[in-house]
Amino acid sequence: MFDERWVTLFVFIGIVGVLMRSPALAGLGVIGLSIAITTKLFERRVLRGVEYERRLSETRLFVDETVTVSGHVTNHGRLPIISLMVDDNAPRTFRPAHTPDGRNTASAGPAHDDPESLLSRQLSENADSEARVSLAQLLALKAGEHTSRSTVLRATRRGYYPFGPAHLRAFDMMGLSLAERVDYLRDTLIVYPRVYPLDKLGIPTRDPFGAMPAMRRLIEDPSLVMGSRDYQYGDSFRQIHWKSTAHVGRLQTRVCEHTSDPTAMILLNVTTLEHDWHGTDVERFEWALSVAGSVASWADEWGCTVGLSSNGCAPNMPNAIRIIPRRAPNQLSRIMEGLAVLTSFTAMHFNLFLLSEQRHVPFGATIIVVTPIVTPEIEGALLRLHGLGKRLILISVDRITPGLSALPFTAYHVPPPTDSAFRKEIDISLRDRTVDA
């Protein structure tokens, strides 16, 4: 409150009081100057010993799961603080986990209910989608005192969410001085997309991918050749062992070692309309992410080596758009993180992406294509891959059933939920993004 102008004024009043031999003016100048100097010292020193720490109980969670955010304030200084305001907020898409009457609104788990009931319950509980959840604290601290406040939040939308900076404001005992500080705390939270069992998506749980025989039995590794045998009818000419054929004098076929690691590669298309400049159909885009996550979760549960690649962009995690299949305990988490941060900005047309990405698909892997649209160009690229001997599975998430019966490989149609609750959730998602922007 007191700046250099007030100091100059009090000095001037003190000098005038001395020159005029007025004890009242001189005393006023001295008192005012003392208060100004004291408040300046307070502003500089009061927040030096104050420490604010934000702690998250989870850094990764699914939609509808909860996280506990704790704000810890400690006064390490020697001065007591009469009034301290810690201004902190949660990202806009998080909601309090309890309703005003104390009822818990978080679901038990995203993978055990059907999509439509989950979305209906979530949207019926939403009251104010544009208000941020405040994590602010107004408190008084003695020297060496510590206090904390915890808030349970529920995630309502998948994504990558950094928490903003915390603003600390402290007033002196007379309310004449205000000390401010901004703490740039780096806390991030990744919310995975919804994951559903395959039967909830309309895909049969028993032998769901008929074109994926490697998921149930051992497959041959072409890099590990054990020897050769006589050629039999039906053997591929690519497997002919020409050196043995020349040595024996009759056709010989390579015999390769078997491996028990079936591999699946999910190729996700983020293009929702025929032309990129037409925009994005958020409903189909978000549903495609959930379907891809559900397939990845199923494959990991069945012991498959699974990977993910997409023609979309992830500005927060640029390496998330291509996750090579490998055996790792955190492989599914990496895939879910990639789906959480993926945006609808297209880096390449999907038909070209399919032909170029096959170079990164391990030999013998089954390619699972998840796409919101099936254009003639995409269908042509898929037929070309099929002609090259690739194992293909197509999952269309379009609203309208495309003509999939004529395709020479397994294809499924998994449309978005048709109830109004899902569309209302998408409207809330769009509104939140607009406000954040």
Write out pLDDT tens, residues 187-205: 899 999 988 888 888 777 6
One domain for residues 288 and 424: yes
Tell me, yes or no, whether 383 and 429 share the same domain.
yes
Of 209, 190, 198, the closest CA to residue 262 belongs to: 209
- In 3D space, the residue among 297, 66, 52, 281 whose CA is nearest the CA of residue 196 turns out to be 297
Percent helix / strand / coil, the chain, rounded to 5: 35, 30, 40
Of 320 and 274, the one with more pLDDT: 274
What's the CA gap between 5 and 32, in Å, rounded?
12
Number of domains composing the chain? 4
CA separation for the pair 141, 82 (Å, rounded): 7
Angstrom distance (rounded) from CA 22 to CA 24? 5
Do 334 and 245 lie in one domain? The reply is: no
CA triplet 305, 307, 313: central angle to 5 degrees? 170
Residue 72 corresponds to which tokens in the numbers above? Answer: 């810890």
118 C-beta neighbours (distance < 10 Å), count: 24
**What DSSP designation does 325 have?**
-
CB 82 within 8 A of CB 173: yes
pLDDT score at 4 = 64
At residue 107, does pLDDT exceed 70?
no
Spell out the alpha helix ranges (H) of 185-281: 242-248
Same structural domain for residues 295 and 430? yes
Please check whether residues 278 and 340 belong to one and the same domain: yes
Statement to judge: residues 228 and 282 lie in one domain = no
Q: Which residues, in sequence order, are CB contacts of 427 under 8 Å at separation 6+? A: none
What tokens were used for 103? Answer: 């009822």
Q: Is the pLDDT of residue 105 over 50?
A: no
Q: Which range of residues forms the domain containing residue 228? A: 220-259
66 and 35 inside one domain:
no
Alpha-carbon distance values, 418 to 284, 292, 400 (Å): 11, 19, 12
pLDDT in tens, 218-233: 456 566 676 788 888 7
**DSSP 8-class letter at 199:** G
Tell me the pairing of strands 159-162 and 188-192: antiparallel
Q: Which residue has the higher pLDDT, 258 or 78?
A: 78
* Residues 136, 122 share a domain: yes
CATH number of the domain residue 359 falls in: 3.40.50
pLDDT band at 318 (very low <50, low <70, confident <90, very high): low
| 285 and 396 together in one domain | yes
> Which tokens hold the place of 187?
């806390």
Exposure of 47 in the CB half-sphere (CA atoms within 13 A): 22
What count of other Cβ atoms lies within 10 Å of the Cβ of residue 260?
A: 8
Predicted local distance difference test score (pLDDT) of residue 267: 94
The pLDDT of residue 301 is 84
pLDDT at 139: 86
HSE-CB for 229 with a 13 A CA cutoff: 7
Does the structure show a pLDDT above 90 at 336? Answer: yes
Residues 208 and 338 in one domain: yes
Give Cα 282 to chain centroid, integer Å: 16
Is 289 or 41 the better-scoring residue by pLDDT? 289
HSE-CB of 369 using CA atoms within 13 angstroms: 31
Distance between CA atoms of 14 and 33, rounded to whole angstroms?
A: 9
Same domain, 152 and 238: no
CATH number, domain with residue 183: 2.60.40.10
Report the chain's mean pLDDT, rounded to a whole number. 78
> What is the rounded radius of gyration, in angstroms, for the C-alpha atoms of the chain?
32
Considering 192, 207, 230, which residue would you say is the last residue of a domain?
192
State whether 226 and 206 are in the same domain.
no
Percent of the chain at pLDDT > 90 equals 17
Helices (H), 177-229: none
